Amino acid sequence: MKYKFIIIPVFLWLLSGSCYAQGLFENTVNQADDEHKLQIDFSGYGRASAYGGSNFYDYSTLFAEFGIQGKLACKRALLFTDLRLRAGSQFDSLGIKLQMKETYVGYQSDKIDVYLGAKIVSWGRMDGFNPTDNITPYDYFFLTADPDDQKLPNFLLQTRWYITPQINLELIAIPIYRPSVYRYDLFDLGEYTTFVAPALPDNTFKNGSLAARFNFDLPNTGFSVSWFRGYDPFYGFNVYDISWEEFAPSIQLQAQPYLKNTFGADFDIPLGSWVLRSEAAYNLTSAYQDSMYIPNPDISYVAGVEHSFRGVVTILQYIGKYTIDFASLDDLPPPENLNDMIIRELAAFDRKIFYQQEKTNHALSLSLSKRFAHETMNSELMGYYNITSEEWFIRPKFSWKITDNLETGIGGMYYAGPDKSVFSYASDVLNGGFVELKVSF
């Protein structure tokens, strides 16, 4: 809502001139006048969603939501908005929330597109594991039947220059950092541990983010190279304070983002009925030796193959990470006191969050989906197994389009891992089943 004072004047300026509204039942006779007409397109939905059954929460999320999406266009100007009103409970907290999922204005032409506002931008060609996707933050603890609900917008300026119809250069500037929502405070890290308010970077020019992507969508292949400089939406935590009362410690932790540069590349190549994809990123950080919340520089990479076996769309992916300048915590000198011992254990947990507990990290993911009953039903199954940490999760889902406007979805999520692993803590909060009923118009 706070961006409307910027967005609305810009859009009115773009629309100034000879735009006029087209009636819903007006017969378009002169196509030459089409570009001067104000084209209006609205859609929306209402849904009821329930997710629950974890060890800590019978109802993780339980809400009713109304959403409306609108697009206005005239000549080369564009306004898009996606507004959602939600009432219900999230982790036992009742409330009503008006969410501006996206609202932005833009200018579109054959040579250049410019967008300004609250917008979701996703980079990468892989399925769910994208090392080059550093633009969009996520609310990992907003649990629904649709994983895309977790994507959050940034206020940004996006420009795309079409060098040719198949080649474009994309530039993005994000003036204010927005972190992902990762609720470490919901994990049971021990009775002596609490979280204070996160340490977010100041809203200054130097703390903004810049990104560039050179993208090729050719007839037989697609690939891109990209660069990002800014604070990573995903973050670890730091020790804020350790105090003692007799023999009991009081440990205060603080979520803290870190600055990085990322150089990435991705491609996909169709080979008949098969599709090969890959994506990699070199993440460059500094001051990581003395700051537990800053990961080491690393190279993250994903390679996958997609094929349809008897109508079952199958995507198999390998997810890897190589940690640069890795040093095992076991090789460090023994802790000198109890405070050092606590910090050492918490630093090990940060490494687990960043998948840097070993020099190399290896994982596999498998996604299966099939439509049937004249495309009205769809079954999905997504699984992940980390070979290095022995953590895994599985997410089945079944959806049924009952009518053209009514659909339902049912499924679940199950995390598991060794004791004191990230997934073992997450399982107490995120495991459970979900059901949703949605009407669209």
Residue pLDDT, tens place only, 393-411: 999 999 999 999 999 999 9
pLDDT at residue 326, rounded to an integer: 95
Query: First CA to last CA across the chain, in angstroms?
Result: 25
Domain span holding position 131: 120-440
pLDDT of residue 246: 79
Looking up residue 326, the CATH number of its domain turns out to be: 2.40.160
* Residue 160 is assigned to a structural domain of this protein: yes
pLDDT computed for residue 333 by the predictor: 83
- What residues are paired with 379 via a beta bridge? 370, 398
pLDDT of residue 247: 83
Contact 52, 60 (CB under 8 A): yes
For the record, the structure tokens of 269 come out as: 């190549």
At 102 the pLDDT is 97
* 57 occurs within a structural domain: no
Within a domain: 20: no
**Torsion region of 246: left, alpha or beta (phi above 0 gives left; psi -120 to 50 gives alpha):** left
The reported pTM is 0.88
Alpha-carbon distance values, 175 to 46, 64, 82, 118, 197 (Å): 33, 33, 21, 12, 22
Joined together, the tokens standing for residue 198 give 């996160």
pLDDT, position 26: 46
Number of structural domains the chain divides into: 1
What is the CA angle 215-216-221, rounded to 5? Answer: 135
Q: Does any domain span residue 407?
A: yes
Model pLDDT, residue 148: 93
- pLDDT less than 50: residues of the chain: 1-8, 10-17, 23-29, 31-32
Does 23 reside within a domain? no
pLDDT on residue 189 = 82
